[in-house]
Amino acid sequence: MRKSATRPVVLDRSIEALPLFRLSDSSDSDAALTYEPSTGGRWRVLPAPGDRLPGTFDQDVYVEILHRYATAGGDGVVHFTLHAFLRSMGRRVDGRTYEQLRGALGRLHRTVLESTQAYFAAPAGRNIDARFTILTSVAIDRRRSTDREQLPLFEAVAAAEPGDARVTLSPVLRANLRAGHTITLSGAAYAALASPTARRLYRLLEVARADGRVAWRVALDALAGQLPLSQRYPSHLHRVLQPAHDLLVGAGIVRDAVIRQHQRDWFVDYVLASRT
């Protein structure tokens, strides 16, 4: 098991309660995502012109950045090589994944999150109006030219030479992390979930746990908007959610997860497993 996967991952509880990463390939992945929480307000995820919304790979990049931030210090700057970052994520290291990682970091930098009384800022003690991005800066530098001249002498190193990255986490998120308005994941449990939908559900279920719940009932259509999922018919949502539910039960994250109909409405009932 990778060492990084054994450490807990601390995430901003407010972000986790809101949709951000697309979990399925859809034709409108370059369109803005809009969500209206049941508590009121509006949340929008606005892709940069010509780009798409953050997706499943970006979700894992975001979690890995927060994983590393815990030991990076309070200034919000996280340093890493792309090679080490991909290895820590458990991804194959090659030209394709290097480009995926560069693209994901760029989207986390350029995608605007717009809160109209939807994002809870713990220092203020209330939901706020704000526009921000997950990362406020991204810089990726190649190795120094003197280093590159030596790379052909070492084939393994040359193949793994993607550059060094320096990213800065949003002060909005950092303020909530410092205030302890957070959820905590098991890095090992997150990495073991093979489905992007199961990984997203794990994060959302930890929000329910942080709210003091041992059981959580949520309307099926509301859950679809909160994850988010592009499917809307109950039968389609059932096909997407059931495999993720099986993974969560098998991993011991929930004791039970049932989709049921009551009169004309559909709900999902979760029973959280106790933490060991």
Strands (E) located in 56-161: 77-81, 112-121, 126-132, 135-141
Share of the chain above pLDDT 70, in %: 88
Residue whose entry in the numeric block shows the structure tokens 């009384």? 117
Map tokens 């957070």 to a residue. 182
Global pTM value: 0.89
Q: Which range (11-20, 31-40, 65-74, 139-148) has the least confidence?
A: 139-148
Separation of alpha carbons 263 and 267, rounded Å: 11
pLDDT band, residue 156 (cuts 50/70/90): very low
d(Cα 216, Cα 74) in Å, to the nearest integer? 34
Alpha carbon 173 to chain centroid, angstroms: 13
State the pLDDT at residue 151. Answer: 44
Residue 155 confidence class, pLDDT cut points 50, 70, 90: very low
Domain boundaries, the chain: 1-186, 193-276
Report pLDDT for 5: 54
Which residue, among 177, 179, 183, 180, has the nearest Cα to 253 in the 3D structure?
A: 183
29-33, 98-102, 180-184 — which is least confidently predicted? 29-33
| Position 16 pLDDT exceeds 60 | yes
* Length reported for the chain: 276
CA–CA separation, 173 vs 159, rounded Å?
35
Per-position DSSP letters for 228-256, written without gaps between them: T-S--SHHHHHHHHHHHHHHHHHTTSEEE
CA atoms within 13 A on the CB side of 24: 17
Backbone torsions φ then ψ of 29, nearest 5 degrees: -70, -10
CATH code for the part of the protein at 193-276: 3.30.1370.30
Q: What is the mean pLDDT of residues 191-207?
A: 97
Banded pLDDT at 7 (limits 50, 70, 90): confident
Q: Which of 45, 43, 8 is nearest to 177 (CA)?
A: 8
- pLDDT band, residue 161 (cuts 50/70/90): low
The chain-wide mean pLDDT, for the chain, equals: 90
Q: pLDDT per residue over 45-88, tens digit each?
A: 999 999 999 999 999 999 999 999 988 767 899 999 999 999 99
Amino acid letter at 249?
A: V
